[in-house]
Structures are given as C-alpha cells and as structure tokens.
Homo-oligomer: A and B are copies of this chain.
Amino acid sequence: MELSIIGYDPIGAWQREATTIEELLEYRNSAGLSWINIRGLKDAAAISKLVEAFAIHPLTVEDILDAEQRPKAEEFDNYLFITFKSLKHRIDKAAGKLDLDQISLILTTDMVITFQESQSNLFEGIRRRIMNNVGKIRRAGVAYTVYAIINAVVDEYFLELDRLGNAIEVFEDRALDENDNTLLADIQRVKQALLEIRRVIRPLREGLNVIMHLDSELIAAPLEPFFKDLHDSATQVFDNVELFRELLDGVMEVHLASISNRMNKIMQVLTIIATIFIPLTFIVGVYGMNFMNMPELEYPNAYPIVWGLMILIAIGMIIFFKRRHWL
C-alpha cells in the first residue's frame, strides 16, 4: 500500500510519501488543498482508520473495498463519493481482454482522496501538472482536480476505442478471406471488450449525470461545464461502443456469407464433375459385361462409336450446366 499526499494552492505545491496512515494524516495539516492518493487496497484496517478521520459513511468504505463495485456517484452530507473503473496502461497495443482497475474518489471542500486498487501510475500526468503549475489546476479548486482525474480515465477509454476501431478495420479486410479461421474468435474477443467497456461506462455516465444535477456546493458553478463535458465524453464512448458492435455484426455476416459462398462454389464444381462421369462410367460398365450374346461387341467400329457417344454425352451435359448457370 502506497500512501502519497500532495498539498497545493495557487502559490505553491509540495508532495510527500507516507508509510502509515498516521504519518499521512500529520502531513495533511496544510492551509491549502490536499490530494491524498492510496494505491493498493489490501489493508482494510488502515483504510478504515483513514476514513474514520474524515467521518466517511461505512457504506462508502464498503464500496471502496469491494473490487466488484458498480461505478456510481453518491452525495453525503460532508463529501461526494465517486467510484468507477479505469483501464490499466498497457504496453502491448493489441485489442483484447480489458484489464480494469477500480478507482474510488472522495471530494470534500478542500481535499480529494483517491483509492486505486492497483499500482498503476495513471495519475502521474496530473501530479506533474500540479507540481509544475500547468494550466489552471492549482487555481481552480479540488473539484477541478476531480475533473482532471476522471478526464484522464475517460481518455484511456478513448485510446482503447481507437485500438478496437483499428482492429475492426483490419477485420473488415479479413472478412472476405474465407480461409481466415480465427476471425470469428477475434471478433468475439473485441465484442467482449466492448461489452466490458459498456458495462463500466454506462453507470459512470449515470454517475456524472447525478453530479451535474447535484447543486452541491462542493462543485462550484464555473466547474459545471467541465462535468457536462465529461458526461458528453462518456456518452460518446457509449455511442462508439454501440457503433462498433453493429459494425462487428456486419463484419461477421459478411465473413460467414463468404465462407458459405466459397464452400458452395467448391461443392458445386466437384458435384458437377462427378455427375458428368457417372453416366459415362455406366456405359463402360455395360460393355464390360460378359454376356455370350452382345452383338455390339463384335461390330468392328463399336469401340470408337462408344467413345464418340460418351464425348457427346459429356459435352451435352456441360452445355446443359452452362446454360443453367450451374458451372
């Protein structure tokens, strides 16, 4: 469990690492704003101690510790609680199974506390912006820091959607290759990723909607457009998920039709070859019979006549199949 605290105000900013909750709480006594970040949620006792110090509702603690918690936003008397899933930074860029991380966030008038399930360094960029006083992040209050955090999380989803979108474009080319045996499984994998994203983005959007209509003094009026903006972004993620799923259905339809089409073509040609030879094989069978009395066998030109007959039959059948557009 890593504990860190950033204190900041329009004039300056400092950052400290702590090893125990008590140490962390000591650092907090700053006049300005603080952002406490907890990475790793194994030590339930330590977290309980922390939240007790800030009069957090026991249900909030439960929600923070429950790794399967559905994303949501809830207002309490003295704080705003938001929990959602982030995508972990991934080195390999292939689209596939998602690696989700639970982020919980408590916003009070002068403090943000963030809880990260894993050790991901998703917030590194924001931390740097605070320390280097980039943009208005030091001046705009803690709620703006919350906006920056959620924005960073949503941006990860857009990156993932870009990756999935690229994958779908490749699938569109692969759809016409009838020998591509792994396409269906690949499509299913992307579909599962999309379903996962939808499952976590939908409640996050609901949560942002709750925040927008909260009229809480924790989120000052000038910050409202920022949260509306987050809501729009979440909606866009959602729309794209739906679009991608319908595109994938189309890709799959084309692929299955391609496979079936090719199979039909092959079987048709093979069956026609067989059908042409079947009557010919019958004829040669006839003259292979050993009856005493088969007059044709003795005619001197019988053999070439039979050959001629068989060639005629074959040509006739080929013309018949061509006419019917079977060949």
* B288 and A292 form a contact (CB under 8 A): no
**CB of A70 within 8 A of chain B?**
yes
- What range describes how many residues of A lie at the interface? 35 or more
Residues of chain A from 96 to 152 with CB closer than 8 A to chain B in the complex: none
Structural contact, A277 and B271, CB atoms closer than 8 A? no
Shortest Cβ distance from A38 into chain B, in angstroms?
Answer: 22
Segment 184-219 of A: residues with Cβ below 8 Å from B: 184-185, 188, 191-192, 195, 199, 202-203
Give the residues in chain B near A232, CB-CB below 8 Å: 70, 72
Residues B289 and A300 in contact, CB atoms below 8 Å apart: no
A264 in contact with B261 (CB, 8 Å): no
Contact B253 A184 (CB under 8 A): yes
Contacts of A170 in B (CB 8 A): none
Cα of A49 to Cα of B74 in the assembled complex, Å: 40
- A225–B74 touching, CB < 8 Å: yes
Copies in the assembly, this chain: 5
By the criterion CB–CB under 8 Å, are B76 and A225 in contact? yes
Pick 22 A–B contacts, CB within 8 A, sort by A: A68-B236, A184-B254, A184-B257, A185-B254, A188-B251, A191-B246, A192-B250, A203-B235, A203-B239, A263-B264, A266-B271, A270-B271, A270-B275, A274-B278, A277-B279, A277-B281, A278-B281, A281-B281, A287-B290, A287-B291, A290-B290, A293-B301
The interface residues of chain B lying within 8 Å CB-to-CB of A76 are: 225
CB <8 Å contact, B253 and A263: no
Closest to A206 in B: B235
Given A271-B270, A272-B270: A226 and B293 interface contact (C-beta under 8 Å): no
Q: Does A309 contact B (CB under 8 A)?
A: no
Question: Chain B contacts of A228 at CB under 8 A?
Answer: 74
Compute how far the CA of A92 lies from the CA of B267 in the bound complex, rounded to whole angstroms. Answer: 39
- Answer whether residue A89 sits at the interface, using C-beta atoms and an 8 A cutoff: no
Is the CB of A319 closer than 8 A to any CB of chain B?
Answer: no
